[in-house]
Amino acid sequence: MKQQTRTNWPFLRSESLTIKRAEGVHLYTADGRAILDAAGGAIVSNIGHGRARVAKRVAEVTADCTYVVPPWTTPSRQALVEALEANWLPEGLRRIHITSGGSEAVEAAVKMALQYHAARGEPERRQIISRSVSYHGTTLATTSLSGHPARKRGLDHALSTYITVPTPYPLRCPLGTHHADAGGFYIENLRSTILSEGPENIAALLAEPITGSSGGALVPPDDYWAAAREICDEFGLLLILDEVMTGFGRTGKTFAYRHWDIEPDILISGKGLAGGYAPLGGVFASEAVGSTLQDAGMNVMFHTFGAHPAACAAGAEVLNIMAEEQLVEQAARKGERLKLLLHEAFDQHPHVAEVRGQGLLLAIEVVRDRATLEPYAERDAISNRIVGKALGKGVFFYGGGTGDVRDIVCMGPAFVIEEAHLTTMVEVLLEAVNEVTT
């Protein structure tokens, strides 16, 4: 029988790398090279690759309890809920809905917000506010809600329209770079948008507390989130925080919103929940949201594979390992160290506008001119070329940006990364940036 040719994968034909094995922070290619995984895949791997303990648990659960409908309880579903309640979820966010990934979770969260208002007799609250630089997923609704032109190509004409407010982008704040009033500027914009659209038409604000790879680890001004939370309360909007990329320790706190004194009404997670050992996402809603839907007899529909027993087993085991090894604290500490090394390497670099991020979600923004912040042309594909160069030198970084926002190189290694790896990451990144920009 003729062997399947490699060109049938992926869908868009391209030369793709074959990885045969992965362990710790390293990937091993079919031709015998080791690659330092400085991005944990798509900012997913948090406990590192190849932990036999997780694989063993997944195998046991697969043998014991292969598949049952999502609303029923199984030992691994119970274990996941217990792990979430023990170390991760605050008292106020314990209505738990488990999905197979981030897009499904965002979609479910938005539906919950619409149902919540409908149940309370305000069905005209149909609009969602999302932000200009963002990524929320790949379904039609989540693509529509994303501030990501590159991922809307060929779809723009058919997508639903939602309301957009600017994502806080301190480097490029219209008032000036890292302007003292930047927080106020973005908040004023949010308030005036709500007023002009009519608060009675808006169900929720959907946002990433620290913007992930679309903006390149954009941390908002410190006064932004408390004020945004207040505005949501003032106008009756639910606050939905998308922590698919930032959740479960990535930014050095359990969730990124905990860098500020706020709590969302609905929290969304994915990637780090099972650290790459299984496809898993989660929506965690407040009691008010949960009981309102329940009392109104509304359904929160599962996908067939939602809360899959093997995936829940992986999630529970990953979360237990994170707690046992204090990996959130490690992410905070190692993130500080990596940031320092990046500052030393790039603070005077003529083509790097800034180093930014929090914990082990960090990024650099590459520009043609550091003084004016003029970007390279999109066709120059600078960040892709930097990522390609670095990969050739044995380190995998994650290219970010949205097409409009460029040229971003993201870092998000597993929290078990060691000092020598951090040094290698920065050395290789500097070489790659130099080779591409000079």
Ligand X SMILES: Cc1ncc(COP(=O)(O)O)c(C=O)c1O
Q: Is the peptide bond before 407 cis (omega within 30 degrees of 0)?
A: yes
The contact mask relative to ligand X for 135-174 (x = CB under 6 A, - = no) is xxxx------------------------------------
User: Could you say whether residue 407 binds ligand X (CB under 6 A)?
Assistant: no
What's the full length of the chain, in residues? 438
Non-local CB neighbours of 173 within 8 Å, separated by 6+ positions: 179, 182, 185, 186
- Toward ligand X, which CB reaches closer, 251 or 292? 251
Closest Cα to residue 255, out of 137, 86, 89?
A: 89
The contact mask relative to ligand X for 13-42 (x = CB under 6 A, - = no) is -----------------------------x
Token pair 């500052």 is found at 343
- Toward ligand X, which CB reaches closer, 183 or 247? 247
Residue 127 burial (CB count, 10 A):
19
Residue 235 near residue 202 (C-beta atoms within 8 A):
yes
Q: How far is the CB of 244 from ligand X (least distance, A)?
A: 4
Q: How far is the CB of 182 from ligand X (least distance, A)?
A: 22
- Toward ligand X, which CB reaches closer, 225 or 376? 225
User: Could you say whether residue 277 binds ligand X (CB under 6 A)?
Assistant: no
Side by side, which strands form the sheet with 238-243?
95-99, 281-285, 266-269, 238-243, 202-207, 127-131, 163-165
Q: How far is the CB of 211 from ligand X (least distance, A)?
A: 8
Q: How far is the CB of 247 from ligand X (least distance, A)?
A: 9
Token pair 């004016």 is found at 372
Q: How far is the CB of 251 from ligand X (least distance, A)?
A: 12
Q: How far is the CB of 138 from ligand X (least distance, A)?
A: 6
C-alpha 210: how far from its chain's center? 9
Closest Cα to residue 134, out of 222, 220, 36?
A: 220
Residue 121 has φ and ψ, to the nearest 5°, of 85, 20
Non-local CB neighbours of 190 within 8 Å, separated by 6+ positions: 129, 165, 205, 228, 231
- Toward ligand X, which CB reaches closer, 220 or 433? 220
Q: How far is the CB of 319 from ligand X (least distance, A)?
A: 17
- Toward ligand X, which CB reaches closer, 153 or 379? 153
The contact mask relative to ligand X for 170-209 (x = CB under 6 A, - = no) is --------------------------------------x-
For residues 117 and 292, give the distance between their C-alpha atoms in angstroms, rounded to a whole number: 9
- Toward ligand X, which CB reaches closer, 151 or 333? 151
Total binding residues for ligand X by CB under 6 A? 15
Q: How far is the CB of 139 from ligand X (least distance, A)?
A: 8
Residue 14 burial (CB count, 10 A):
8
- Toward ligand X, which CB reaches closer, 118 or 276? 276
- Toward ligand X, which CB reaches closer, 146 or 286? 146
For residues 396 and 399, give the distance between their C-alpha atoms in angstroms, rounded to a whole number: 10
- Toward ligand X, which CB reaches closer, 207 or 310? 207
> Which residues within the stretch 285-324 sit at the binding site for ligand X (CB under 6 A)?
none
Count of CA atoms in the C-beta half-sphere (13 A) of 100: 9
User: Could you say whether residue 212 binds ligand X (CB under 6 A)?
Assistant: yes
Q: How far is the CB of 105 from ligand X (least distance, A)?
A: 7
Q: Is the peptide bond before 10 cis (omega within 30 degrees of 0)?
A: yes
> Which residues within the stretch 80-139 sit at the binding site for ligand X (CB under 6 A)?
101-103, 106, 135-138
Question: In the complex, which residue's CB is closest to ligand X?
Answer: 102
* Cα dist from 177 to 169, 170, 181, 225, 278, whole Å: 9, 6, 10, 19, 41
For residues 363 and 359, give the distance between their C-alpha atoms in angstroms, rounded to a whole number: 11
Side by side, which strands form the sheet with 352-358?
352-358, 361-366, 408-411, 398-400
Q: Is the peptide bond before 221 cis (omega within 30 degrees of 0)?
A: no
Q: How far is the CB of 274 from ligand X (least distance, A)?
A: 11
Q: How far is the CB of 255 from ligand X (least distance, A)?
A: 12
The contact mask relative to ligand X for 237-276 (x = CB under 6 A, - = no) is -----x-xx------------------------x------
Token pair 């219209």 is found at 174
Site residues, ligand X (CB under 6 A): 42, 101-103, 106, 135-138, 208, 212, 242, 244-245, 270
